Amino acid sequence: MTQAVPLHRASPHWSDYLPLSRGAWRNTTFVTAGVPAHLVALSVFALPWLDAPVSVGEVLLATLISLALPFLLLRPLNAMQRSRFWGLLGVDVPVPPRGRRDLRAALRSRTTWRSLIYHGLAGPLLAGGGLLVVAMWATGFGLALLYAYAWALPPRSPLSLTEHQKFINVLTVCGVLLLLVAPAVAAVVTRLDTRAALALLGPSRTEELERRVEDLAEKRAGVVDAADAERRRIERDLHDGVQQRLVSLAMNLGLARETLTDVPEDAMRVIAEAHAEAKEALTDLRNVVRGLHPAVLDDRGLDAALSGIAARAPLPVKLRVDVPARPAPTVEAIAYFVASEALTNVTKHARASQVEMELVRVADVLRMTITDDGVGGAEPTRGTGLTGLRQRVASVDGTFRITSPAGGPTVITVELPCAL
């Protein structure tokens, strides 16, 4: 999300109040450049009234034009101010999110009215502050140099030191005081202008929070997708690398067990044990690969993948899948792992005799219902894996509900958004 990030110090440093400091000149340049920028916006409002309309029709026309011109020129005026803040202060005034571009939406937009308040009300006041800073610098320099100017005049001149020394001394002191105060006034006007611009030209607090929520949601979706992609990569590496090597090892050991008939009995026993261990390791690795990300899920979708885990379950599973259009791969993976973990929980804890699993897609929602006739009493807080399922579903803004009264049945309902 774009935020207002000042490249310079957020608050004035003590050196900014020195007349010849870098900060003082930067602030003075900024407020001086703001005078014509604010007056341009003010002239847009005042332009229709320059001809001094007298009739009712002329007044109404001038009013209509003075209201229409700011709307038409609002975007260039905002861009001009943002360019001034970025170029002179290094402050980025974010652009609020754009809605519809028709006139009705613009009139109802808070962003439009906040911009008009900045240009129509805050702008003239800030321009007055800029003119005050310019006047203080100009008057201060003029009065501070008055002593030297009077000293250079002939003795009998009306402004000579001999005739008006006390008056010239007072004016010189006043000029020096103006030079000392001008940097502080420039810093104050700069801070007021910056705060007004960030509050009125930038996004509101509500818009900023909405943008931050959207940004966090996008980042979370990116993390979920990255994690799923990483599981796919690990599954491919294990399937194409380690699993193939174990298959080759088991085949070679089996071949040695069948063909080497003249080896000692102890050696044959070692070969047989190694062959059995290799087959068990291969079975375990296949289970790990299937748990990471089953290849059948990518190849044939949820129907085939869920049919596989239903067939491997130690109890009867009645499965119904009605998903005409495949959802995003991340949603498919979450639905698969939720179903797999739920069946595992039923097998370990529910003491059920059968399970019914239904998966349907309604519009942009993938709804899964898992029902067992076990003893019930399942609670996410008891460490049965339900908390992990809830967190996995929540990672894509899905909903997870469980109903499990004592004595059963237990019903798990999961809804996953498909518009990802």
Q: What is the full DSSP assignment across 355-415?
A: EEEEEEEETTEEEEEEEE-S-----GGGSSSHHHHHHHHHTTT-EEEEE--TT--EEEEEE
- Residue recorded with tokens 């900045």: 118
Contact between residue 168 and residue 62 where contact means Cβ atoms under 8 Å apart: no
Of 203, 225, 242, which one is at a domain's C-terminal end?
203
- Lookup: tokens for 132: 């005050």
- Residue recorded with tokens 């009998």: 156
Q: Are residues 279 and 354 in the same domain?
A: no
Q: Are residues 190 and 224 in the same domain?
A: no
Q: Are residues 389 and 313 in the same domain?
A: yes
* CA dist., res. 71 & res. 229, Å (int): 48
Q: Are residues 282 and 137 in the same domain?
A: no
**Which residues constitute the domain of residue 275?**
213-292
Tell me the pairing of strands 355-362 and 317-322. Answer: parallel
Contact between residue 100 and residue 153 where contact means Cβ atoms under 8 Å apart: no
Q: Are residues 194 and 241 in the same domain?
A: no
Q: State the pLDDT at residue 251.
A: 84
Residue type, 273: E
171 inside domain: yes
Contact partners, residue 299, CB within 8 Å, separation at least 6:
none
1 inside domain: no
Q: Are residues 194 and 227 in the same domain?
A: no
- Lookup: tokens for 370: 């898992």
32 inside domain: yes
pLDDT tens-digit map of 316-344? 989 998 888 888 888 888 888 888 888 88
41 inside domain: yes
Tell me how many helices (H) and strands (E) the chain has: 14, 5
Contact between residue 96 and residue 204 where contact means Cβ atoms under 8 Å apart: yes
347 inside domain: yes
**Three-class secondary structure assignment of 250-270:** HHHHHHHHHHCCCCCHHHHHH
What are φ and ψ of residue 404, in 5° steps?
Answer: -145, 75
79 inside domain: yes
Q: Are residues 282 and 164 in the same domain?
A: no
**Which strands sit side by side in the sheet containing 355-362, from one edge to the other?**
317-322, 355-362, 365-372, 410-417, 399-403
Q: Are residues 224 and 273 in the same domain?
A: yes
Contact between residue 357 and residue 370 where contact means Cβ atoms under 8 Å apart: yes
Q: Are residues 142 and 234 in the same domain?
A: no
Of 203, 238, 263, which one is at a domain's C-terminal end?
203
- Which one, of 367, 369, 286, 357, lies nearest residue 316 by Cα? 357
Residue 39, phi-psi category: left (phi > 0), alpha (psi -120 to 50), beta (remainder): alpha
Cα distances from 137 to residues 35, 348, 399, in angstroms, run 15, 83, 65
Count of domains observed in the chain: 3
Helices 386-394 and 329-345, packing angle to 10 deg: 170
Q: Provide the 8-state DSSP code for 158.
A: T
403 inside domain: yes
82 inside domain: yes
Rg of the chain over CA atoms, in angstroms?
39
Q: How far does CA 61 lie from the centroid of its chain?
A: 45
Q: Are residues 182 and 268 in the same domain?
A: no
Q: Are residues 264 and 329 in the same domain?
A: no
Q: Which residues of the chain have pLDDT under 50?
A: 1-10
Residue type, 305: A
Angle at 119 between CA 103 and CA 62, to 5 degrees: 60
Of 266, 292, 318, which one is at a domain's C-terminal end?
292
Stated pTM of the model? 0.53
Q: Are residues 233 and 119 in the same domain?
A: no
> Other C-beta atoms within 10 Å of 403: how many?
12
CATH number at residue 398: 3.30.565.10
